[in-house]
């Protein structure tokens, strides 16, 4: 459990959703030279829409980084970096070696506060215990880390520490990975960011090192902007949050991530009809397979095969006459989403009449409705129709033994991760208006 080192300060960071259709540009306003402990720190942001590229095949790979990014500074003097916000990962890391496809790297040689961590350090020996691949010792006797992701991407390099500047809050000695090699299944997306900000409950995650008792984020569904907040979120305009407890298993199990934000999914409704499934199908089995993770590093939501099939069939049944199913049984979007539709985009489609899908957690419920149920496949058309896919996918097709709640279904939801009370809270809110109320509107 984390302990707080700064309970009176709340820090805001800009939060951006990056998809294949958006490139995001930041505009930083001047900040005062010092800010009192009771004020908030924030950075404004702005987006710009560009044409979407055409897909190279009808079976697109799963990406751990089609994601949310934040902007901050690292090193002495500070170097600007952008990092993927990932509640499903522990170690934060930065690209530290130049390559032709990278738009941004961190140069450790240019930072006087940079320090590589030797493999003899307690950090290397004890605080890497939750890594899926054990840390090792390289030829220079430095702590070496190799990280792997669900899409078979890998990244590796040395553990190090440096000063991270979050707003005007300096955090010297922050541990991260200075990465110099790896394999990406989507190098075009990876090249847009400098690295990744690991935000799970592991001892080396960014939020654990920051020491805040909780953090929140809110993602706009209209303009792909948002806000990341470290600390308490007590605002008069924010409705009461519904909370669901985090599930913890102390015994190591092969398919259970013990430092993930695991909640208990207990059922799914389509409109008012609860899917006819036993509650046991949502519970982890003796191997740990079947946990439900809240993951900002995954774009869509993925359900284990039997649950996905039941949801797919019920949604198709309730949308007969409303939606035209894509007549292409071989098309699978992102390798796991096989329920797609042909939709005329002129005039602009109205998804308000679709039945909402409600995820029933222990003590709380999250509803997905309207546009969040559909995702337009970039560049794909059938005659005069565009192709939209249902935003729930099949975990089995990805080889993932878990339920994963992705950030697309967290749009216009205030998401709070309470590390002290061990719970996740959420409430529906207009995130673009929330940003404006917090002084982030441009």
Q: Compute the distance between CA of residue 72 and CA of residue 83 in angstroms, rounded to an integer.
A: 8
pLDDT at residue 236, as a whole number: 84
Does one domain contain both 154 and 290?
no
Q: Which of 130, 295, 418, 432 is catalytic?
A: 295
Determine whether 257 is an active site residue: no
Residue 178 lies in a domain: yes
Residue 419 lies in a domain: no
Please state the length of the chain. Answer: 442
pLDDT at residue 11, as a whole number: 54
Sequence-distant (≥ 6) Cβ neighbours of residue 59 within 8 angstroms? 331, 332, 335
CA dihedral 233, 237, 242, 247 (to 10 degrees): -20
Residue 55 lies in a domain: yes
Is 250 exposed, middle or buried, given 0-12, 13-18 or 19+ CB atoms closer than 10 A?
exposed
Q: Compute the distance between CA of residue 224 and CA of residue 194 in angstroms, rounded to an integer.
A: 19
Does one domain contain both 209 and 248?
no
pLDDT at residue 34, as a whole number: 25
Does one domain contain both 297 and 163?
no
Residue 375 lies in a domain: yes
- Pick the last residue of a domain from 230, 261, 286: 230
Q: Compute the distance between CA of residue 219 and CA of residue 283 in angstroms, rounded to an integer.
A: 28
Q: Compute the distance between CA of residue 341 and CA of residue 331 in angstroms, rounded to an integer.
A: 11
- Pick the last residue of a domain from 200, 230, 260: 230
Quick check: 107 and 76 in contact, CB under 8 A? no
Q: Compute the distance between CA of residue 279 and CA of residue 283 in angstroms, rounded to an integer.
A: 7
Does one domain contain both 276 and 394?
yes
Q: Compute the distance between CA of residue 243 and CA of residue 363 in angstroms, rounded to an integer.
A: 6
CATH of the domain at 356: 2.40.70.10
Name the β-bridge partners of 376. Answer: 388
Does one domain contain both 275 and 396?
yes
Q: Count the neighbouring beta carbons within 10 Å of the beta carbon of residue 3.
A: 11
Nearest to 358 by CA among 263, 293, 267: 267
CA dihedral 204, 209, 212, 218 (to 10 degrees): -60
Residue 421 lies in a domain: no
- Cis previous bond, 77, omega within 30: yes
Residue 127 lies in a domain: yes
Largest Cα–Cα distance of the chain, in whole Å?
66
**Among all chains, which residue has been given the structure tokens 């489609």?**
349
Does one domain contain both 260 and 197?
no
Residue 191 lies in a domain: yes
Sign of the alpha-carbon torsion through 355, 359, 364, 367 = negative
Residue 428 lies in a domain: no
- Pick the last residue of a domain from 190, 205, 230: 230
- Considering its fold, how many domains does the chain have in total? 2
Does one domain contain both 201 and 256?
no
Quick check: 158 and 144 in contact, CB under 8 A? yes
Q: Compute the distance between CA of residue 281 and CA of residue 262 in angstroms, rounded to an integer.
A: 16
Q: Compute the distance between CA of residue 217 and CA of residue 224 in angstroms, rounded to an integer.
A: 13
- Quick: pLDDT tens for 225-236: 788 888 888 888
Mean pLDDT in the chain? 82
Sequential DSSP letters for 62-86? P-TTSSEEEEEEETTTTEEEEEEEE
Phi, psi angles (nearest 5°) of residue 210: -65, -30
Does one domain contain both 260 and 189?
no
Does one domain contain both 193 and 303?
no
Q: Which of 86, 338, 418, 432 is catalytic?
A: 86
Does one domain contain both 223 and 259?
no
Half-sphere exposure of 247 (CA within 13 A, CB side): 19
Q: Compute the distance between CA of residue 249 and CA of residue 292 in angstroms, rounded to an integer.
A: 13
Quick check: 86 and 198 in contact, CB under 8 A? yes
Sequential DSSP letters for 9-23? -EEEEE-EE--TTEE
Sequential DSSP letters for 187-223? HHHHTTSSEEEE-SSSTTSHHHHHT-SEEEEEE-SSS
pLDDT at residue 347, as a whole number: 82
Does one domain contain both 120 and 263?
no
Does one domain contain both 353 and 373?
yes
Q: In the chain, which stretches have pLDDT less than 50?
A: 1-9, 16-65, 442
pLDDT at residue 188, as a whole number: 61
Domain extent for 91: 10-230
Nearest to 406 by CA among 150, 59, 90, 49: 150
Determine whether 130 is an active site residue: no
pLDDT at residue 7, as a whole number: 37
Please give the model's pTM, rounded to 2 decimal places. Answer: 0.85
Q: How far is CA 139 from CA 116, 119, 122, 128, 136, in A?
A: 13, 10, 19, 19, 10
Phi, psi angles (nearest 5°) of residue 347: -70, 175
């Amino acid at each position: 459990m984390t302990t707080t080192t700064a309970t009176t300060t709340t820090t805001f960071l800009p939060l951006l959703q990056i998809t294949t259709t958006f490139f995001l540009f930041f505009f930083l306003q001047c900040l005062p030279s010092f800010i009192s402990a009771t004020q908030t720190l924030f950075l404004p942001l702005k987006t710009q829409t560009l044409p979407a590229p055409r897909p190279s095949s009808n079976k697109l790979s799963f990406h751990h980084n089609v994601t949310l990014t934040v902007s901050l500074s690292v090193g002495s003097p500070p170097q600007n970096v952008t990092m993927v916000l990932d509640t499903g990962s522990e170690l934060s890391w930065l690209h530290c070696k130049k390559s032709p496809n990278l738009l941004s790297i961190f140069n450790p040689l240019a930072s006087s506060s940079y320090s590589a961590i030797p493999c003899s350090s307690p950090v290397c020996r004890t605080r890497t215990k939750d890594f899926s691949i054990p840390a090792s010792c390289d030829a220079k006797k430095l702590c070496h880390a190799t990280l792997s992701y669900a899409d078979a991407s890998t990244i590796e390099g040395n553990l190090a520490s440096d000063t991270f500047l979050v707003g005007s809050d300096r955090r010297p000695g922050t541990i991260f990975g200075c990465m110099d090699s790896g394999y990406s299944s989507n190098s075009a997306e990876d090249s847009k960011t400098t690295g990744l900000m690991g935000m799970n409950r592991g001892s080396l995650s960014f939020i654990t090192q920051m020491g805040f008792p909780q953090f929140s984020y809110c993602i706009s569904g209209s303009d792909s902007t948002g806000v990341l907040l470290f600390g308490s979120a007590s605002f008069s305009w924010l409705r009461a949050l519904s909370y669901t407890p985090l599930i913890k298993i102390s015994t190591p199990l092969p398919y259970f991530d013990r430092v993930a934000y695991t909640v208990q999914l207990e059922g799914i409704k389509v409109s008012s009809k609860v899917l006819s499934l036993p509650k046991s199908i949502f519970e982890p089995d003796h191997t740990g397979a079947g946990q439900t993770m809240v993951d900002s590093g995954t774009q869509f939501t993925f359900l284990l095969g039997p649950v996905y099939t039941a949801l797919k069939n019920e949604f198709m049944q309730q949308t007969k006459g409303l939606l035209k199913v894509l007549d292409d049984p071989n098309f699978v979007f992102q390798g796991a989403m096989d329920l797609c539709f042909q939709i005329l985009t002129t005039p602009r489609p109205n998804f308000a009449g679709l039945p909402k899908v409600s995820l029933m957690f222990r003590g709380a419920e999250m509803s997905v409705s309207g546009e969040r149920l559909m995702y337009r496949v970039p560049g794909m058309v059938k005659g005069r129709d565009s192709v939209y896919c249902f935003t729930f996918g099949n975990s089995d097709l990805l080889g993932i033994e878990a339920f994963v709640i992705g950030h697309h279904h967290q749009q216009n939801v205030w998401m709070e991760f309470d590390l002290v009370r061990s719970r996740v809270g959420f409430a529906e809110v207009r995130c673009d208006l929330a940003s404006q109320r917090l002084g982030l509107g441009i």
